[in-house]
Amino acid sequence: MKREPDGEALALAALIRDMSAATTAAELAGVFVRGAIDAHRLSWGGCYWRDAAARNLLPLAGGHARADALPALALDELDNPLVYSLTAAQPCRVEHLGTLVDVGEGFERLRERLPRRGVLHVTPLFDSSMRAAGVLAVMGGAEEVQAWLVSLPWQLLLQAYGQLLARLQQADPAARSEPAKPGQRERAGAGRLLAAEFIGVSPVARSVRNELQRLADSSLSLLLTGETGVGKDHAAWLIHQASSRQGRFVPVNCAAIPKDLIESELFGVVRGAYTGAAQAREGLVAAAHGGTLFLDEIGDMPLDLQGSLLRLLNEKKFRPLGASREQGSDFRLICATHRPLQELIRDGRFREDLYFRLRQQVLHLPPLRERKEDLPALAAHILLQFNREHHRNVMGLSERALALLQAHRFPGNVRELRSLLLVAAERTAPGGWISARALADLQSVPHGVTSAGDELELLRTLWGTNNLPEAMTLFERHLLSDRLRRAQGSRRLAAESLGIPKRTLAHKCQSHRLDVGERTT
C-alpha cells in the first residue's frame, strides 16, 4: 500500500529532522537507510564508506540490523558490485545475485546477510571533492527499487545525505587510519581505472580486467586479438594508463595511413629528405619515447616496412628518412589485429620472425555475444557519457529495449552497441526511456529476422562467384549501405561502427555511389 502524498511529505520531514540531529556518520547512515527501506518497502539497505588508507570499505549501516554485523570489503575485490560502484564512480545493478560467482571473500560474507531474492542496486556517494568515497546499496523487488530510483524527493535527499555523511565522516577521528604506501596507492589507482573504464560484471569481463592489470606491470611486447569492435584500442590505452610509464600513448592505425607515407609517419623526416620536405618532422616512434606505441591493424603493415619494425624492436633504434644518424626510443609496443596473422604468414604477407617478436604476450578480447550479462552495465555507461557530454537526461533502456539488445548478435560488438545507443538516445525525449521502437527502427535490416531472404540471396551470390574482386565490391557496398541505414545516414556513426576513419568511409561511399541524400555528420 502506497503512502498518501501528505503522509509521504510528513515522513520525509521527519527523516530530514532526524538526519539533521545525527552527530556521527554511523548514526546518520542508520537513519537514512532505515527511512529508505520503510518508505519504499525495500527488503534491505546498507551503507559503506572508504577508509583513509583506501584499502577497505567499512560498514556504517545495515538496514534494521547492527552495522558491525556486516563485513568490511577489501577494495582489491574489483568484481564485488559495491567496490565496483565505488571505483567506477557510477551506479551498479545486479538483477540476480546468483549470477555473481567468485567475486571475493568480503562479498561472500555479505551475501550471507542479504535476501536471497531481489534486485541489488548500488549508488556511489561523493565527498566534498566530488570523489567517490562510499556507497549506498539497496535490495528489493524490481518495481520497488525502480520507484525509489525515480522518486525526485528521495534522489535530492540522497545528494544531501552524501554531503552530510562526508562532513561527519571527515570529522570522525575513528575513521582515520595510516595512509597507504605509494606502491599501494598506485596499484589501487590502476584497479580503480580498470573498473571504471572496462565495464562489465560477467566472469569474462572480470577475467579480462585481471589480465589487463597483470599486463600493465610488464614491458614485453603485447599482441591484442579479437573481432572488429571489441575494444582493442581501448584495452591498449587502459594498459598504458595503468602502467608506470610516464610518456605518451601514441596510437597508429596501420590500415588508415597510405602505404607511401607510413614509414615517414613512424620514423620521421629530416629537412630536405625529399621534394616538399621543407622542415623536419618528428615521427611517432620518437613521440612514444618513455610511453607506449600502439600499432592497430598490424596485419595491414606493408611487408617491406615489417623488417624495419623488427630491427627497431630488437635494437630500439631507428633512422628518420634522410638522416645520417640513428636515434633511440624507449617504448612499450602493443599491437592489435582482427586478422589471422598465421594465415598471412602462409600467404607470404607477414613476416614470421616479426610475428614471434610481437607475441611475447597475447590477450584475446572476447566478442560481445560471449558476455551478454554485461549489456545492462555497458548501456548504462554509454548513456551516462551521452548525458554528460550533451547535457541530457536519458534515463536508460526500457525492459523491451533491453530484451531486443540481448537478442541481437552484435557482429560489430561494443562499437555497434555504442552506435545504436547514441542514435537512439538522440531520438529519446529528455527524462525518457529508450524504447524498443527506437532501437528497432535503427535496425532496418535485422540479422536473421525481416530480411533473411535477401541476406540468403546475397550469400548465395557471393559463395557462387567466379569473380573475387566483383564479389568483394558487392559485399562492401551492401555492408556500407546497411550501416548507413542503421545510423540514419550519419557517416560519423557508420564509420565508428566499422572502425574506419570518416574520410575513408566518405571515399568508399563516393566510389559506390552511396552519397546521395545522406548526412555527413
Is the pTM for the entire model greater than 0.85?
no
385 and 354 in a single domain? The answer is no
Q: Helix 413-426 crosses helix 375-390 at what angle (to 10 degrees)?
A: 50
Q: What is the mean pLDDT of residues 302-311?
A: 88
307 and 205 in a single domain? The answer is yes
Percent of the chain surpassing pLDDT 70: 84
Average pLDDT of the chain, as a whole number = 81
List the single range of 347-351, 370-374, 467-471, 501-505 with lowest mean pLDDT: 467-471
**pLDDT for the residue 182:** 42
Which range of residues forms the domain containing residue 91?
Answer: 5-175
Residues ≥6 apart with Cβ < 8 Å to 148: 36, 39, 40, 42, 138, 140, 154
26 and 83 in a single domain? The answer is yes
The answer to whether position 428 is within a domain reads: yes
222 and 264 in a single domain? The answer is yes
- Of 339, 364, 389, the residue that ends a domain is 364
**pLDDT for the residue 449:** 35
23 and 134 in a single domain? The answer is yes
What band does 367 get if pLDDT is binned at 50, 70 and 90? Answer: very high
How many domains, the chain?
3
- Of 364, 386, 401, the residue that ends a domain is 364
**509 close to 480: Cβ distance less than 8 angstroms:** yes
Q: For residues 412 and 282, what is the distance between their CA atoms, to the nearest angstrom?
A: 35
The conformation of residue 365, written as its DSSP 8-state character, comes to: P
At 63, which CATH number?
Answer: 3.30.450.40
Q: For residues 317 and 491, what is the distance between their CA atoms, to the nearest angstrom?
A: 40
The answer to whether position 519 is within a domain reads: no
pLDDT one-digit tens code per residue, 272-296: 556 565 577 788 888 999 999 999 9
Most confident of 52-56, 58-62, 159-163, 182-186: 58-62
Q: For residues 452 and 456, what is the distance between their CA atoms, to the nearest angstrom?
A: 6
14 and 110 in a single domain? The answer is yes
The answer to whether position 307 is within a domain reads: yes
pLDDT one-digit tens code per residue, 171-230: 665 444 444 444 444 555 566 677 667 888 888 988 898 899 899 988 899 999 999 899
pLDDT one-digit tens code per residue, 12-42: 777 888 888 888 888 888 889 998 898 889 9
The answer to whether position 227 is within a domain reads: yes
pLDDT one-digit tens code per residue, 475-508: 887 888 878 877 767 778 888 888 888 888 888 8
At 290, which CATH number?
Answer: 3.40.50.300
Q: What is the mean pLDDT of residues 431-446?
A: 69
346 and 375 in a single domain? The answer is no
pLDDT one-digit tens code per residue, 125-138: 887 777 888 999 99
- Of 336, 364, 392, the residue that ends a domain is 364
261 and 381 in a single domain? The answer is no
297 and 375 in a single domain? The answer is no
The answer to whether position 410 is within a domain reads: yes
488 and 396 in a single domain? The answer is yes
